Structure 1
Amino acid sequence: MNSKKARAIFTNDGECDDMNSFVHLLLYANDIDIEGLVASSSIFHYAGDPEQGIEPKRWADPKWMLEDIDAYERVYPNLVAHDPSYPTPEYLRSVTAVGNVKTIGEMSEDTKGSELIRKALLTSDPRPLWLLAGGGTNTIARALKHIELDFRGTDQWDSVYRQVCQKGIIFMVVTQDDTYRDYICRTWPDLRMLHCTSIQGIAFMFDETVIPPADLRMFRGSWIKPNLLEKGPLLARYHTWDDGHVYPGEEDRSQFGSNAELMGGNWWGKQPRNRYDMISEGDSPSFLYLIDKGLRSLEDPTFGGWGGRFVRNAENEFNPDADYWQNATDAAQGPTKGDALQLTRWIGDWMNDFASRATWCTTPDEKSVNHAPEVSVEEGVDVVAAPGQEVTLHALATDPDGDEVCVTWTRYADADGYEGELVLDVERREDGACVSLTVPADAKPGDTIHLVARASDEPSRETYMVNYRRVIITVGA
């Protein structure tokens, strides 16, 4: 157990974007304590139930997850040379399970997947347990239902309810069945839900209205093929347009890898595509939100990070009394809309980080591949300052590979508690950069100002890596 890593169980429904997210997740298995990899169902994909006369819908046998882990095993010696905390393939297989998959929202019986979730919620580990729903929430719901059946009506129910609600956090990508609406938010309203409803920019549709224009190139085959697909057996399983992959059980209109008739815009999204272009990673915000790169997203959903930014929403479609959070809307930048930008402002950084890690799969030689620079702030990451006070922060950066590092300071105004304008005076230095500002005279006690120091080795690398330090200035009396 690593107390600094987030605990997580990843559930998915086997759509091609879930498969891509799964490959991506495996490259970050060193940064997350993965306690489960669970196949579930959704409105889009389910296995069927012959006894009930239910035919399967677009169903892929969950063995694809084990096949991905087999590919991970082939590159594991290289990955572990770069970070010994990568979990063994044997461990990943041991926490891979099939959940409730027979039909949409099925939660009537225990499964290996639901039992894995139930037991994880009831362990003595004090850390939060992130339940990532790339498909429906029905397997999670079954785990919760079992707990309710065991304890409701007993003198332990109140304490068990509190434990589960304090420990569990659901991260749901859009809404892919009705089990959160019909069961979870009614029986477990204090169980926090982060509902990722704005996945524009990483789910099938890509243009400058949802992705910053400078980052669109990373969604084209000319970038993806050399930087991802050609990086060994694990990345060869990453799905792109017209790459020859066939998705078992999928209908022709969604066979993006093998149905050449879909090219040129002849598909439901209408946008033209070229060979090896990005298809989708619609479920990746769930685990990207957990990766600690210094943005502090796990401290507060309103801070924002690689998986998006969230605000509490009592006026939701489920239950106004639920601990329910939904994607925020940041201010638009140029042609890129704010509801997408809350997620895609970081997309260039995480795509480059992804590509750099893909290169780790090809060699154990640390000197021939890239690693992230380190960055720190001399004054710390929590500062208290009064209105009118000048604040100066010094960000220091080093690089394990000896690369040139560029350090920048920006304000993340959308996450601020102070709504006025600020002037930042940034000075580049050989070892980093410093920023100075004066706390505005009209700032009120308790207002916050979020500043992000970003350290990147982009000047030295074709695919760069980053780290951040978010400093929160809290206005005092």
Structure 2
Amino acid sequence: MYRILSLSFFAFLSLTGFAQQSKNGQTLKPRIVVLTDVSTWETDDSESLVRLMAHADLFEIEALIFTTGWSLDKTREDFMGLIHAAIDAYEKDLPNLQKRSNQQQFNAVESRQTIGYWPSPDYLRSVTMFGSENRGLEFLGEGNESAGSDFIIQLADQKDDRPLWITIWGGGNTLAQAIWDVKQNRSEAELKKFLHKIPTYAITDQDRDQKTPYDISSHYWMRKEFAEDLLFIWDESAWIFQNGTGKRNWEAYVEHIQGHGALGAVYPKYKYGVEGDTPAFLHLMPNGLNDPMFPNQVSWGGYSVFQLTEDKVTSSYSNFNSPAADISRKYLEHFYPATFNNFAARMDWAKEGKGNRNPLVSINGDKGISPFIIEGKAGEKIKLDASKSNDPDKDGLNYKWWVIPEAGTYTGNIEIADSESGIATVHVPSDAVGKEFHVICEVSDDGIPNLTSYRRVIFKP
């Protein structure tokens, strides 16, 4: 019963909250809250903050909340300064970054931001705050309230149909406290409404020391108590991949990231791994590849399935074991060059005020980023036309059409004719009725570095 209820609900939430349009027809950004345990001894959070700032035109950053984590059992005033250091660097590079979208000024009210809008540094500072002071489930409850937990509730209560994505880079006790407060003070129906609003992507389980049991973590409590209503992604694949791959390719970060503008100047060298928290927002990247509400679609932030978790008690979306771990890694390896180039190009803008920009994909005349749905058509040949895609820098475009079999329910072979041209033809199998399969249109330019955009086409024969 749970899976039927959950999938139908999240499908509805996705339809109402993904890639919404503003009054002027522009696409609204995904809403994001960051819980970070940034510190001087684990520099990957600072690296991820720089990367987030370089992509601030793609995310409505609703809150930057300093929390505890694996190696930080109590918040510290001095580490809060690391968040402000990233914002200060962003402020210095902003005149260059704004040239990317020809932005001349800031909105008087910086809510309901559209893709391409760079928020003001003052706005970012206004949503930077402390979360719960102490780590662990034992502190949950009366007296554990914080500016961060209160603000999460306020944000979720706003009249906005978009999901409020909670990205947990450290410990999630601040989120747990917000849920606890709502549970204590509102009805069961109101609690469910709140939980439905806050899908969560957690980088491992850090509300505990790394070597201690899971059941002392507030993550365990959230997964155990609210599995039916809280979409919770527990990643154990993408962060490990990013940490290690970034470390092995560190010279590329030295060349293309460090020293590029003020943001590059505050991008520290790794101590254990590189940008382990970045997948939490890569999953939400509005690049046409995926709908974040469906973690099994595959995204720049990996792949996960709903299953019994590593603690052997709770269930959530996760990828700690095979086959999910292997599937996730396969696609992370495929997408890594595109994700890195995306970052490098933006750091060019930070430094020079010029650089490459991503192609804009059009499928059969539709220029959106939500999945393009085709229903019926079993046994037919369907033409998909991306030839009207364009590049803002007039670069040449290369096309690749391919299938992500793990995202769908049809297990047979899908034939795609002209899979490396602007117009492809998909042969819809006659035995695919009642099932679905996902075709990706991958469009890359020939600029420096080459950049890639996507559009997902979901067939439902």
Counterparts in 2 of 1:326-475, with a 5 A limit?
326-327=318-319, 337-364=326-353, 368-378=354-364, 381-396=372-387, 397-426=389-418, 433-443=422-432, 445-457=433-445, 459-461=446-448, 463-475=449-461
Residues 232, 361 of structure 1: 8 Å contact kept: yes
Match in the other structure for 1:294: 288
Match in the other structure for 2:169: 134
**Matching residue's letter, 2:332:** L
* Partner Cα separation in structure 2 for residue 417 and residue 228 of structure 1: 40
Residues 241, 332 of structure 2: 8 Å contact kept: no
* Partner Cα separation in structure 2 for residue 287 and residue 131 of structure 1: 10
* Partner Cα separation in structure 2 for residue 392 and residue 329 of structure 1: 38
Residues 382, 473 of structure 1: 8 Å contact kept: yes
Counterparts in 2 of 1:11-410, with a 5 A limit?
11-14=35-38, 15-47=42-74, 61-83=79-101, 84=103, 85-105=117-137, 106-107=139-140, 108-151=143-186, 157-177=187-207, 178-183=217-222, 185-186=224-225, 189-199=228-238, 202-206=241-245, 219-241=248-270, 256=271, 279-314=273-308, 317=311, 324-327=316-319, 337-364=326-353, 368-378=354-364, 381-396=372-387, 397-410=389-402
- The Cα of 1:96 is off from its aligned counterpart by 0.3
Q: Who wins on radius of gyration, i.e. which is larger?
A: 1
Q: Deviations over 1:78-120 (max 9, x none)?
A: 1122233110000000000011133444434211122211211
- Other structure's SS at 2:34 match: strand
* Partner Cα separation in structure 2 for residue 167 and residue 303 of structure 1: 20
* Partner Cα separation in structure 2 for residue 117 and residue 388 of structure 1: 49
- Other structure's SS at 1:131 match: strand
- The Cα of 1:30 is off from its aligned counterpart by 1.1
Q: Deviations over 1:98-151 (max 9, x none)?
A: 111334444342111222112112222222111111111101111122222222
Residues 385, 391 of structure 1: 8 Å contact kept: no
Q: Deviations over 1:394-437 (max 9, x none)?
A: 112211111111111111122122111223221655xxx12223
Residues 373, 400 of structure 1: 8 Å contact kept: yes
* Partner Cα separation in structure 1 for residue 92 and residue 282 of structure 2: 24
* Partner Cα separation in structure 1 for residue 337 and residue 291 of structure 2: 18
**Matching residue's letter, 2:94:** Y
Q: 1:201 to 1:425 in 2, by over 3 A?
A: farther
Q: Does 1:9 align with 2:33?
A: yes
Residues 302, 328 of structure 2: 8 Å contact kept: no
- The Cα of 1:326 is off from its aligned counterpart by 1.6
Residues 96, 349 of structure 2: 8 Å contact kept: yes
Gaps of 5+ in 2: 1-20, 104-116, 208-216, 367-371
- Other structure's SS at 2:298 match: coil
**Matching residue's letter, 1:384:** E
Q: 1:382 to 1:101 in 2, by over 3 A?
A: same
* Partner Cα separation in structure 2 for residue 9 and residue 165 of structure 1: 15
Gaps of 5+ in 1: 49-55, 152-156, 207-215, 242-255, 257-268, 270-278
Q: Deviations over 1:364-388 (max 9, x none)?
A: 3xxx411111111117621124432
Structure whose residues are more often helix by fraction? 2
- Other structure's SS at 1:86 match: coil
Residues 328, 339 of structure 1: 8 Å contact kept: no
* Partner Cα separation in structure 1 for residue 332 and residue 459 of structure 2: 23
* Partner Cα separation in structure 2 for residue 424 and residue 309 of structure 1: 24
Structure 1 segments (4+ residues) deviating >4 Å? 328-332
- Other structure's SS at 1:119 match: helix
TM-score (norm 2): 0.80
